[in-house]
Amino acid sequence: MTSSNNSFVAIFSLLLLSTMQCHAQLSSTFYDRTCPNALTTIRTSIRQAISRERRMAASLIRLHFHDCFVQGCDASLLLDETPTIVSEKTALPNLGSVRGFGIIEDAKREVEKTCPGIVSCADILAVAARDASTLVGGPSWTVKLGRRDSTTASHTLAETDLPGPFDPLSRLISGFANKGLSTRDMVALSGSHSIGQAQCFLFRDRIYSNGTDIDAGFASTRRRQCPQEDQNGNLAPLDLVTPNQLDNNYFKNLRQRKGLLQSDQVLMSGGSTDDIVLEYSNSPRAFASDFAAAMIKMGDISPLTGQNGIIRTVCGAIN
């Protein structure tokens, strides 16, 4: 009798554990019962924002990326500075360049009206990035949901874990590998630079270098809006040809030595990623497919699930 009871307890424990693990997995149907209109509500908000300013699509994709690379996809980036929180917003890779916080707050506010306390800011970020992609001609994908929001931020990790515009190829590859992303994922995700803009001080050295890795005419064009001194905040499109369309033109630019940032051009500089750049430049379908797959993988980085984390009422503050 005792051994049979022990067996029953063991089987029950295994079932319970497997159920808990199941609940800890992200799922595309996570809100189907608790907030069935969540995705439609978010999409409406994002569509309005991008119709007002097309560049916002790039900013929202970047917001999700900069969140996931620090502590995982937990909306820690959205937290404002408080006496107990040193915000990630003030870290060097984010300061004065990461934007779109108000758009996420708007979407959250709309979702809260119908489903208070149900949908996390981390999930809204993930959905917003997908919607932003589709609204500027990029691929769509099925977003996995069920992330919860952190109660902490890490200014320190934001300073160290985010890739930089001057990083060599080896550092880019290792930085993404540390987050469970392959070299191919890294190149595909870099294709998000098919949209958006960069500030002058981030590409000044490159356009005045007279280097062999930059097209002379391209450098000359870019110098017009980026003098050797001052005007640090002047913006230039990362892709001159189709700056508001998420497409594979970014990779065609790299083949012509017209990558705006050093970290862009380094993907096509005689190294291990040249073949991937060539493949994507020749095949819009391959790029779109790999970009979508890499975004799903990125959204899987260390999410808080189950009983971990909270559902923030306002994305910028802990309840």
* Angstrom distances, CA of residue 246 to CA of 49, 101, 136: 17, 21, 6
Tell whether residue 290 is among the known ligand binding residues: no
C-alpha span between 104 and 116 (Å, rounded): 16
Q: Please report, as a single letter, which amino acid is at residue 110.
A: E
Tell whether residue 192 is among the known ligand binding residues: no
Q: Is 33 exposed, middle or buried (0-12, 13-18, 19+ CB in 10 A)?
A: exposed
Question: Which entry of 23, 64, 66, 155 is annotated as an active-site residue?
Answer: 66
Tell whether residue 149 is among the known ligand binding residues: no
Tell whether residue 112 is among the known ligand binding residues: no
Write the CB contacts of 186 (distance below 8 Å, at least 6 apart in sequence): 172, 173, 176, 273
Tell whether residue 239 is among the known ligand binding residues: yes
Tell whether residue 93 is among the known ligand binding residues: no
Place of tokens 């916002």: 56
Tell whether residue 163 is among the known ligand binding residues: yes
Residue 172: CB atoms within 10 A of its CB come to 20
Place of tokens 């992303």: 181
66 flagged as catalytic:
yes
CA neighbor of 315 nearest in space, from 87, 55, 24: 87
Q: Which residues are registered as beta bridge partners of 304?
A: 148
Write the CB contacts of 237 (distance below 8 Å, at least 6 apart in sequence): 196, 197, 243, 260
Tell whether residue 274 is among the known ligand binding residues: no
C-alpha span between 1 and 228 (Å, rounded): 85
C-alpha count within 13 angstroms, C-beta hemisphere, residue 246 = 30
Tell whether residue 167 is among the known ligand binding residues: no
Tell whether residue 90 is among the known ligand binding residues: no
C-alpha span between 297 and 62 (Å, rounded): 15
Q: Please report, as a single letter, which amino acid is at residue 232.
A: N
Tell whether residue 205 is among the known ligand binding residues: no
Q: What H or E segment, with its residue span, contains residue 242?
A: none
For the annotated binding site for Ca(2+), the residues are 67, 70, 72, 74, 76, 88, 239, 242, 247
Binding site members? 67, 70, 72, 74, 76, 88, 163, 193, 239, 242, 247
Where in the sequence numbering do the catalytic residues fall? 66
Binding residues for substrate: 163
Annotated binding site for heme b: 193
